[in-house]
A and B are shown apart, each in its own frame.
Chain A
Amino acid sequence: MSDFIKEFFGFLMSHKKIWLGPIVVIVILIALLLVLSEGSAISRFIYRI
C-alpha cells in the first residue's frame, strides 16, 4: 500500500498539469465570472434609509 502511495505521489509530482491545471483554470474562471458579471447602474440612485 505504501509503495502504491509513494508511486502515486511520484506520479503527481511529475504530472502536475493534470491536477494543478484544473485548479488554476477554475479559480481564474470563477474570478473572471465574479469580476465581469457584477455591476449596477443604480448605485448612486439608491434610496438612503
Chain B
Amino acid sequence: MNRKKAFIFRILAALIPLLMFAVLEGGLHLVDVLPNRDLFIPVAADGNERGEYLLVNPDIGDRYFPRNGLVPTPLPNTMLLKDKPENLFRVFVMGDSIVTGWPYESHAGFSFILEQRLADALPGKAVEVVNLGVAAFNSYSLLDMMDEVLEQEPDVILLYTGHNEYYGALGAASTATLGHSRWIVNLNLWLQDFKTVQLIREATYKVRETLAANKESQQPPTLMGQVVGNKTIMPGDEVYERGRRQFEGNLNDILEKAREAGVPVVISDLVMNLRDTEPFVSIETADGESADRSFADARAFEEQGKFADARQKYVEAKELDVLRFRAPEEFDQVIRDAAQLNKAYLVPLRETFDRASPDGIPGNDLFLEHLHPTVEGHFLMSETFFDGMLENALLNKEWLTADLLPAQYYRETWPVTELDRALAKIRIIGLKDHWPFIPENESINAVARFNPVNRFEELAKDVFGDKITYQQAQYMLAENFIEEKEFALAIKAYRALSKSQPAETAHLKNAAFKLIEVRQFQAAIPFLEQSLRLEDSLFANKWLGQILVNFGRAREGLPYLEKARQIDAADTQVLSNLARTYMMLGNQEAANLVMAELEAVKPN
C-alpha cells in the first residue's frame, strides 16, 4: 500500500466513529426505545375540535435529577396548543415550586390568577398561560429548557427564580463530584439532548442499579445530616461564590436567548420570610457573627419598635444562615444587572411584599414557611407581574379592554376554599416534620397526630393521606353546602374543582346539574358556558338555552336550543322549549314546524 493510500485510509477510518454515532443517533430517533426527554410531548387530538396539544413532559425532572432519589414533576396535565393560532396570547411562567403554587392546589398559584386576569383584560384574545414550575428547579434547568420554550413562540416569559441555586438540581452545593463548573454542567445538559448519550445514560443507570442492589445490605443509607454537615455554606466561601457565579452566568444566558429571539421577559427580585423563619443552621464566623445572634437582635429591635433596624438584622440572620434555602441578598443585584444588560423587565416584588407586611418585614402573613407564599402572597405576585406587563406595554393597547377589573375583584372572587387552606396547612405540617425544620430522624409523624377541628381539615387530612382525591373532597363539600343552602360556598367549591382540572367538562356539567336541581339557574350559567367552550354537549346547550329563555333572553337562548336540537332531534324538552322560544320571538312559522317535529316524536 502506498503512502498516499494509507493516509486516505487513515482519514476514512478516523471518520468511522463519527459515522457510527450519526447512524446510531439517527436510528435511535426512528425507533422508540428511550424515554422521551423533550420538554413538550405531542398529545393526540381527542376529537372535540380542540386541535392538537403539547403536554409538558411529566418526566422532565429526569433530565436533572438522579433516579435514586425523588424526581420532581411539573403540574399534571399542563398543556399548550401545538400550533399557535394568530389570536393567541401565550405566556410561559418559569421557576420552581413557588411557581407551581405549592403547597396549595395549583389554581391558588399566582400564574393561574394571572391567567384569568389576562383573559379578562384581553377579551378579543385567547390567553394561554403555561406553568413550567417544577420543585427544586434552578437556573441550570431553566437555561436548559429555554430553547424549547422559545420554539413555542411565547409572547411573554415570566421568571421567578433564585432560591434553589445551592441545593436545587445540579446546584452549587449538590453532591455532584465533577459538575461544579458551570460549563461542565451545561456541557453535560447539552450532550444529553443526543439520543446516543441518552442511551449511554440508560446503560450507566442499569449498571449502577445492579451495583446498588448488591451493596444495599452492606451499606446503611447516608444521613442527610452528614451531607449537610459537608455543605454548610459560609458567606463568601468557595461554594457560596460558585452559586453566585452559576446564577449570574445562567441568568444572563437565559435572558440573552430570550432577547435574541425577541421575546420579552418579566423577572422579579426575590422574596422570602424574614421575620418568622429562624435560621436553619447557625455557625459563628471568624468575626464572631452568627445567624442566631442576628435573629435574636432582630427580635429585640422589633420589640423596641425599631423596625428598620429589625429588618436589617433579620436580613443579616438570613445571610448568615449557612443552610442556604433562601437566596442571598446579592442575588437581587444579579437579577437587576442581568435584567438591565439584557433589556428584561424587572418588577419590584420585594418592595410590594415589604409594603404589604406589618412594619415592612415579611413574615407569616405572606409566607407559609421560609419561602412559599400564602394565598395573599400569590395575589401580590400575580398583581406585580400583571402590573409589570401592563406598565411596560407588553399588553397591546388595542387588545386591552377599557374596563379593566381591579385587583380586588380577583381577591374577592378567586375560588380558594377553606379546604384549599386546610390542605396547604397539613402539607406544611408534613414538611416541617422533617429535616431541616427538625433534626434528622426526629420525625414525630405530625400529620398522623394532627387532630382536625372542622370538616375542611378532616377532608384535607384524607386528601393528604391519599384516602380521597382533592376533587372528591371538593365535591363532597359542595354537595354539603347545597344541602345546607349555602349556595355561595357551594359555587366557590365547584369553581375550585373546575379550576383544579380545567379541561374536565364533567366537573362543570355536574356543578351546573346540581345548581339547576336547587333552582340556582343564574349560578349555573357560567359552568354551562365554560363547558361549552370545551365540549358541545346536549346537556349544556339544552340547559343554557332554556335558562336564558326563561330569563327573558330568548334571542340569546335560541342558538343553544337549536344546537341541542341538532345533537338530539328527539329530545322533547328541547323541542317544546324551542317552539316556545320561536313564539316569544314572534316567529310563528318556525314555532309550528318545531311543534310538528314534537308531535312526530311524541304523538298524543
Residues from chain A with a CB closer than 8 A to the CB of B64 are: 38, 40
Closest partner residue, chain B, to A37 (CB atom): B179
Q: Does A2 contact B (CB under 8 A)?
A: no
Instruction: List chain B positions with a Cβ less than 8 A from chain A.
Output: 1, 5-6, 9-10, 12-14, 16-17, 20-21, 64-66, 69-70, 72-73, 75, 97, 100, 102-103, 135-136, 164, 166-171, 173-179, 184-185, 187-188, 191-192, 197, 200-201, 203-204, 208, 224, 227-228, 231, 325, 372, 427, 431, 434-436
CA distance A34 to B184 in the complex (A): 10
CA distance A41 to B188 in the complex (A): 18
Top 10 closest A-B pairs, CB basis? A43-B69, A37-B179, A36-B178, A39-B176, A39-B175, A42-B167, A19-B16, A37-B178, A18-B13, A22-B17
Decide: A41 near B170, CB < 8 A? Known: A30-B197, A33-B178: no
Instruction: List chain A positions with a Cβ less than 8 A from chain B.
Output: 7-8, 11-12, 15, 18-19, 22-23, 26-27, 30-49
CA distance A8 to B14 in the complex (A): 12
CA distance A26 to B228 in the complex (A): 34
- B179 near A42 (CB under 8 angstroms)? no
Contact for A46 among B135, B166, B174, CB less than 8 A: B135
Contact for B179 among A26, A31, A39, A46, CB less than 8 A: A39
Chosen A-B contacts, 22 in total, with CB atoms closer than 8 Å, are A11-B6, A11-B13, A12-B13, A15-B10, A18-B14, A22-B14, A26-B17, A26-B21, A33-B188, A34-B188, A36-B178, A37-B178, A37-B179, A40-B64, A40-B176, A41-B174, A42-B171, A44-B69, A44-B434, A46-B72, A47-B431, A48-B70
Decide: A36 near B169, CB < 8 A? Known: A18-B13, A44-B435, A46-B70: no
CA distance A37 to B181 in the complex (A): 9
- A40 shortest CB reach to chain B, Å: 5
- B228 near A41 (CB under 8 angstroms)? yes
CA distance A22 to B204 in the complex (A): 19
- B170 near A8 (CB under 8 angstroms)? no
Residues from chain B with a CB closer than 8 A to the CB of A42 are: 136, 164, 167-169, 171, 174
Decide: A40 near B65, CB < 8 A? Known: A22-B14, A49-B135: yes
Closest partner residue, chain A, to B185 (CB atom): A37
- A8 near B73 (CB under 8 angstroms)? no
- A40 near B136 (CB under 8 angstroms)? yes
- B201 near A34 (CB under 8 angstroms)? yes
CA distance A7 to B65 in the complex (A): 48
- A12 shortest CB reach to chain B, Å: 6
- B13 near A38 (CB under 8 angstroms)? no
Closest partner residue, chain A, to B172 (CB atom): A41
- A31 near B200 (CB under 8 angstroms)? yes
Say whether chain A's binding surface is mostly helix, strand, loop, or mixed: helix
Given contacts A31-B203, A47-B135, 5 further A-B contacts (CB under 8 A): A7-B5, A11-B6, A15-B9, A26-B21, A30-B200
Contact for A43 among B1, B65, B185, B372, CB less than 8 A: B65
- A36 shortest CB reach to chain B, Å: 4
- A7 near B14 (CB under 8 angstroms)? no
Residues from chain A with a CB closer than 8 A to the CB of B372 are: 47
CA distance A26 to B224 in the complex (A): 34
CA distance A29 to B73 in the complex (A): 29
- B191 near A30 (CB under 8 angstroms)? yes
Closest partner residue, chain B, to A27 (CB atom): B200
- B402 shortest CB reach to chain A, Å: 39
- B174 near A39 (CB under 8 angstroms)? yes
- A18 shortest CB reach to chain B, Å: 4
Residues from chain B with a CB closer than 8 A to the CB of A18 are: 10, 13-14
- A12 near B204 (CB under 8 angstroms)? no
- B176 near A36 (CB under 8 angstroms)? yes
- B176 near A44 (CB under 8 angstroms)? no
Contact for B66 among A7, A22, A39, A49, CB less than 8 A: A39
CA distance A44 to B188 in the complex (A): 23
- A25 shortest CB reach to chain B, Å: 9
CA distance A34 to B136 in the complex (A): 20
CA distance A22 to B13 in the complex (A): 10
Decide: A41 near B175, CB < 8 A? Known: A11-B1, A11-B9, A35-B208: yes
- B119 shortest CB reach to chain A, Å: 24
CA distance A33 to B179 in the complex (A): 8
Contact for B188 among A27, A37, A46, CB less than 8 A: A37
- A39 near B177 (CB under 8 angstroms)? yes
- A34 near B197 (CB under 8 angstroms)? yes
Residues from chain A with a CB closer than 8 A to the CB of B192 are: 34
- A2 shortest CB reach to chain B, Å: 15
Residues from chain A with a CB closer than 8 A to the CB of B12 are: 8
- A8 shortest CB reach to chain B, Å: 6
- A38 near B1 (CB under 8 angstroms)? no
Decide: A38 near B431, CB < 8 A? Known: A27-B200, A33-B188, A33-B191: no
